[in-house]
């Protein structure tokens, strides 16, 4: 049976599309065909294009793995004469373009060309969310209260809306942050306006039912909270809460049903099998010996000055510092490893089957950051505290001599905002939400192993987001982190795609 076409708007690095593209029917054929992914950010577009190239093969060619390992460059991979049709396919699918009021006619034409007359198709995507996020709103209002009201990103969903009105997809899926539900413009909830527009996108006769994936189909009406998907309930090792809307054209006699609960997975489950890395020392002083000396110095400092109340933490820090002496690797673009002996916990087997590519023989995008010596001490303390107390340390739990030397930190330690400025991801719980802010600093994403004394790598963040290990992120490291933080978890998208497929291809 012919695959269902998919158009992806505001695609980011392609997490939502990856979930749709990964589904196969009983004969092993793809259920969905990603026809077009539109993204304006250059590094994310390059990631999209590379993934489109990979998906154009039944199995990735050897040259793709050579590229991941740095044996050949991207131009050599794409210019290989054997892969001409694959390259052209990827360039058609991944479009580096910005959706805006002035470009709508161009987009309309390109979408029409990509669909090639398809009637059964799905529109997916997530308009940029900074204007709706609680943090983004707080920052804009604190700097200039009128800036928030004037932010054009509130209305980027209208570009999505116009595609619906122009091309009438049987089904659409739109994702955004939970803050969309409480965001207001002119004193009115913007979610009510978005929902109303999606139900009647052309303002005339085109009608859609907009339903959630996490509430029963039998409800006559839905509360805004019904549209929130709490990812940790569906086998995702991350407490990511997002609004996901499913629009069904009124003449389509189907409903997607509800997502099925999944096994509760933790950070430990997600990071299983990844090579341990030491962090780097910033300031040009880095070496394994200098790094280990800095870690040991932090452990001795808390032993000497921490007092009786921190004795158990100091003991754990000392043990971690001893283990740290065996770590020398800081990672890189690709780390060769043998995966044959890896055995994840039984509860995480399906997750690791999703991650694993037996031809990869290594891990890409796994490289540690550089940290100041004082931050190494804070990471060592925070991760040791979490191991001993089974809870993350707040700034109020830090000894005075480990606090950053600025007023905000001391105010936070006294009970002010941002008291969780140094946040460890707990081993036995889902991670906190991975967001694009991870690109700016790692303080909110400290690795649970105190011996490693660092923030999460791009690959570790990608594991929490459920990207397969052979999914390579282009750009510099900051751009890679941003892409991962902005993405929809592919394994969650896969579950959503299965529900959508049953609507369009009922058994």
129 is catalytic: yes
The verdict on 190 and 323 lying in the same domain is: no
Neighbours of 204 (CB within 10 A): 8
Looking at the structure, do residues 204 and 236 belong to the same domain, yes or no?
yes
Q: What is the pLDDT of residue 284?
A: 81
| 292 and 235 fall within a common domain | no
Q: What CATH number is associated with residue 83?
A: 3.40.50.150
d(CA 454, CA 395) in angstroms, rounded, equals 18
Taking alpha carbons only, the member of 166, 261, 278 closest to residue 214 is 261
- 163 and 284 share a domain? no
Which tokens belong to 75?
């131009």
Q: Residue 403, CB half-sphere, CA atoms under 13 Å: how many? A: 19
Rounded distance between C-alpha atoms, residue 474 and residue 463, angstroms: 16
Domain shared by 261 and 288, yes or no: no
Report the distance separating Cα 68 and Cα 73, nearest Å.
Answer: 9
Q: Which of 424, 426, 373 is nearest to 394 (CA)?
A: 424
Q: What is the pLDDT of residues 320-371, one digit of tens each?
A: 999 999 999 999 999 998 765 578 999 999 999 999 999 999 999 999 999 9
Write out residues in the chain with pLDDT < 50, as ranges: 137-138, 140
Q: What is the predicted pLDDT for the residue at 137?
A: 43
> Measured between alpha carbons, how far is 453 from 455 in angstroms, rounded to an integer?
7
Cβ burial of 16 (10 Å; 0-12, 13-18, 19+) is buried
* Under 8 Å between Cβ of 171 and 124: no
Distance CA 14, CA 16 (A): 6
Are residues 251 and 362 located together in one domain of the fold? no
Catalytic residue among 129, 246, 453, 503: 129
240: part of which helix (H) or strand (E)?
none
274 and 257 share one domain: no
Convert 264-326 into a string of H (helix), E (strand) and C (coil): CCCHHHHHCCCCCCCCEECCCCCCHHHHHHHHHHHHHHHHHHCCHHHHHHHHHHHHHHHHHCC
Q: Are residues 284 and 179 in the same domain?
A: no
Shared-domain flag, residues 137 and 271: no
Are 40 and 147 members of one domain?
yes
Tell me: do 300 and 423 sit in the same domain: yes
Torsion angle of the four alpha carbons 488, 494, 499, 505, in this order, in degrees rounded to the nearest 10: 130
**What is the domain range of residue 370?**
267-486
| Packing angle of the helix pair 84-93, 42-55 (nearest 10 deg) | 130
Note the pLDDT of residue 145.
Answer: 58
Same-domain pairing of 54 and 203: yes
Looking at the structure of the chain, the number of domains it has is 2
Question: What three-state secondary structure class fits 49?
Answer: helix
Count of C-beta atoms within a 10 Å radius of residue 226: 15
DSSP, residue by residue, 348-372 = GHHHHHHH--TTT-EEEEEEPPEE-
Q: Is there a contact between 136 and 130 (Cβ–Cβ < 8 Å)?
A: yes
| CA 31 and chain centroid, separation | 24
């Amino acid at each position: 049976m012919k695959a269902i076409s998919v158009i992806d708007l505001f695609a980011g690095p392609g997490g939502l599309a990856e979930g749709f593209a990964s589904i196969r029917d009983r004969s092993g054929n793809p259920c969905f065909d990603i026809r077009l992914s539109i993204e304006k950010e250059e590094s994310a577009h390059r990631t999209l294009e590379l993934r489109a190239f990979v998906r154009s093969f039944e199995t990735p060619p050897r040259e793709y793995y050579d590229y991941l390992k740095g044996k050949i460059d991207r131009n050599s991979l794409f210019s290989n004469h054997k892969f001409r049709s694959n390259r052209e396919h990827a360039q058609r699918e991944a479009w580096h373009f910005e959706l805006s009021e002035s470009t709508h006619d161009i987009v309309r034409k390109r979408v029409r060309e990509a669909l090639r007359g398809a009637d059964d198709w799905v529109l997916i995507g997530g308009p940029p969310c900074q204007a709706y996020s609680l943090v983004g709103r707080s920052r804009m209002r604190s700097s200039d209260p009128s800036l928030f009201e004037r932010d054009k990103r509130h209305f980027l969903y209208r570009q999505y809306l116009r595609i619906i009105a122009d091309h009438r997809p049987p089904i659409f899926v739109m994702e955004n942050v939970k803050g969309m539900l409480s965001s207001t413009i002119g004193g009115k909830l913007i979610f009510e306006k978005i929902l109303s527009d999606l139900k009647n996108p052309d303002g005339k006769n085109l009608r859609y039912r907009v339903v959630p994936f996490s509430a029963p189909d039998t409800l006559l009406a839905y509360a805004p909270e019904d549209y929130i998907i709490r990812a940790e309930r569906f086998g995702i090792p991350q407490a990511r809460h997002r609004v996901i809307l499913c629009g069904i054209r009124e003449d389509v006699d189907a409903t997607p049903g509800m997502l099925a609960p999944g096994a509760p997975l933790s950070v430990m489950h997600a990071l299983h099998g990844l090579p341990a890395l030491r962090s780097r020392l910033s300031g040009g002083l880095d070496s394994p010996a200098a790094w280990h000396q800095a870690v040991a110095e932090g452990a001795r400092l808390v032993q000497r000055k921490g007092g009786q109340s921190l004795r158990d933490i100091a003991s754990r820090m000392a043990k971690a510092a001893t283990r740290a002496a065996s770590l020398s690797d800081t990672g890189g673009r690709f780390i060769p490893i043998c995966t044959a002996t890896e055995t994840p916990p039984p509860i995480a087997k399906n997750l690791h089957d999703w991650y694993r590519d037996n031809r990869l023989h290594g891990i890409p995008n796994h490289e540690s950051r550089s940290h100041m010596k004082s931050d190494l001490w804070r990471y060592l303390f925070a991760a040791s505290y979490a191991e001993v107390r089974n809870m993350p340390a707040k700034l109020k739990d830090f000894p005075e001599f480990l606090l950053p030397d600025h007023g905000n930190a001391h105010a936070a330690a006294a009970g002010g905002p941002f008291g969780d400025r140094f946040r460890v991801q707990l081993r036995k719980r889902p991670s906190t939400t991975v967001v694009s802010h991870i690109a700016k600093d790692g303080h909110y994403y400290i690795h649970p192993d105190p011996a490693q004394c660092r923030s999460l790598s791009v690959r570790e963040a990608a594991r929490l987001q459920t990207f397969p290990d052979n999914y390579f992120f282009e750009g510099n490291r900051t751009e890679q982190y941003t892409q991962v933080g902005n993405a929809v978890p592919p394994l969650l998208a896969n579950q959503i795609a299965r529900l959508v497929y049953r609507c369009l291809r009922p058994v």
